[in-house]
Amino acid sequence: MSYKENDIIRGETGMITRRYLLTSFVSTASIVVAAPVLAKAPGFLRGAGDIRKIRFRNFNTGEFINSVYWIEGSYVSDALKEIDYFMRDWRQNKVRSYDPANIDILSATQGLLDSSEPFYLLSGYRTSKTNKMLSRMTDGVAQNSYHVKAMAADIRMRTRSTDKISRAAKSFKTGGVGRYARSGFVHIDSGPFRTWTS
C-alpha cells in the first residue's frame, strides 16, 4: 500500500488526510508550544531539525499512521491526539494521553535506522486490566509497566533486526530499551535510561 506524508488510516474507522492536517497546522490553536520541553531535551532532540515524524502499523489492528507531529519547535496537538488514539489499549478500546517524550525517542530511532518502513506496534498503552491479563499469560510483563503509564511501546521492523533497533535506541542514552530477540521485538520507553536483553 502506498501512502503520503501525514496520511493516517484507521482501518474501518476512516482516514484523516494530508489536507486536513495541513489545514490544522494553520490554526494556532492546534499547536502546543513546547519551548520549555525543548530546552530540557536530550542532545539528540535539540539537533533533530524543523519537523519530527513517525510511521507505524499496528500489528494487532492493521491500522496505519504516518504523521508529522512536531513543526519548528512545537508539538502539533491534532497529530498527538491521533497518536494517542493509535497507541490506545485496543483490547479495552481505552485511550490515554501518550507521552510525547517516547514518541520523540521512537522517531529519532526510526530516523537513525534510515528506512521508510514503519515500525510495527505490538503494544503501546495498556490499561491495568490488560497488563494483568498479559502478566498471567506471558513471562516478563512488569506489574508497574511503563505501558500502563502510556510511556512505552513494543516494536519490530521487517527489514531491521532487534539488535539494530535496540542499538539505535540505546545510542541516545535516554529511556529504557529492552531487546527481546526470541520474541522478535524491542521495548522502548521514556523512563530512566536503562537497557536489558531477554
Query: Is 175 a member of any domain?
Result: yes
Would the pLDDT of 65 be above 90?
yes
Query: Is 146 a member of any domain?
Result: yes
Query: Is 34 a member of any domain?
Result: yes
Query: Is 179 a member of any domain?
Result: yes
Give me the pLDDT at residue 131, please. Answer: 81
- For 159-170, write each residue's pLDDT tens digit: 999 999 999 999
Whole-number percent of the chain with pLDDT over 90:
62
How many domains would you assign to the chain? 1
- For 112-131, write each residue's pLDDT tens digit: 998 999 999 999 999 989 88
Give me the pLDDT at residue 174, please. Answer: 94
Query: Is 1 a member of any domain?
Result: no
pLDDT (mean) for 141-155: 88
CATH number of the domain bearing residue 52: 3.30.1380.10
Give me the pLDDT at residue 140, please. Answer: 64
Residue in the block written with cell 490554526:
27
Global pTM? Answer: 0.76
Query: Is 3 a member of any domain?
Result: no
Which range among 10-19, 162-171, 173-182 shows the weakest confidence by mean pLDDT? 10-19
Q: Which residue segment(s) compose the domain that 170 sits in?
A: 8-197
pLDDT (mean) for 165-186: 95
Would the pLDDT of 7 be above 50?
no
Cell of 155: 516494536
CA distances to 44, 96, 103, 154, 185 from 179, in Å:
21, 25, 18, 10, 7
pLDDT (mean) for 143-152: 89
Query: Is 185 a member of any domain?
Result: yes
Would the pLDDT of 47 be above 70?
no
Instruction: State the DSSP string of the chain.
Output: ----TT-EE-GGG-EE-HHHHHHHHH-GGGEEE-HHHHHTS-HHHHTS-SEEEEEEEETTT--EEEEEEEETTEEEHHHHHHHHHHTSBTTTTB-----HHHHHHHHHHHHHHT-SSPEEEEE----HHHHHHHHHHSTT--TT-TTTTT-EEEEE-SSS-HHHHHHHHHTT--SEEEEETTTTEEEEESSSSEEEE-
Would the pLDDT of 89 be above 90?
yes
Query: Is 2 a member of any domain?
Result: no
CB 41 within 8 A of CB 90: no
Would the pLDDT of 58 be above 70?
yes
